Each structure stands twice: as structure tokens, then as C-alpha cells.
Amino acid sequence: MENAGDHLGPGFDFLCPNSEYSRWGATTVPPCGPCFVEINLADVGPDEAKLRYVVAHEFCHSNGVRNEQAADDCAAAYGFPNIYFTRVAGAGASPA
């Protein structure tokens, strides 16, 4: 991520692997103490491209991007697109 220009937000810890949340990744929303991005490797699985997308997406959240689609767009701008599922406005996500 860092080499692509996508950086962990200031004041955030990076917790990987972590399995506190049953999703690919999670980011706390400030004000938080401590603030963190966590990645659940067991849920992501062995796909390195998926892992890169998840980390990029969560790093975008740590830098203030709150909307899920906007975080996908942000991750894609750094070269890590969401090719894993399609977001449906107001209805969560559907498999791609």
C-alpha cells in the first residue's frame, strides 16, 4: 500500500492478523482511542490481490473516507479495485 501511495491514517494502528470482527477488515471511526485498522486474514483467505484490496480499502477509511463505495473507489485509484462483489446502494453487497 505504502509504495502505491495509500498510507495508514495518522494515529491509527495496523492490526494484522486480527479476528475481532467477522468481516474482511474493519476501521474505527474517530474519535476513537485507540484508532485502528484490522484485517481478518482467515476471512480474506489466501488470495493476495483480495488482501491488497481489503488493506487499501481500510487505509482509505483511516484517512477519512466514510462511504463504502467511496472507499472502493479510493482503493481502485491506488490500483487495488474491488473485483470481488458489487455494492448495491442501500442493500449491502452482492457477489460479483
Give the global pTM. 0.87
The count of structural domains within the chain is 1
pLDDT at 92: 52
Q: Which region among 3-7, 61-65, 91-95 has the lowest average model confidence (pLDDT)?
A: 91-95
Instruction: Give helix 68-77 / helix 48-62 axis angle, nearest 10°.
Output: 120
pLDDT by residue (tens digit) across 53-65? Answer: 999 999 999 999 9
State which residues form the domain around 88: 2-95
pLDDT at 30: 82
Rounded Cα–Cα distance for residues 11 and 35 (Å): 7
Contact 65, 30 (CB under 8 A): no
pLDDT by residue (tens digit) across 8-57? Answer: 999 999 999 998 888 999 999 888 888 999 999 999 999 999 999 999 99
Contact 39, 24 (CB under 8 A): yes
C-alpha cell at 57: 480499502
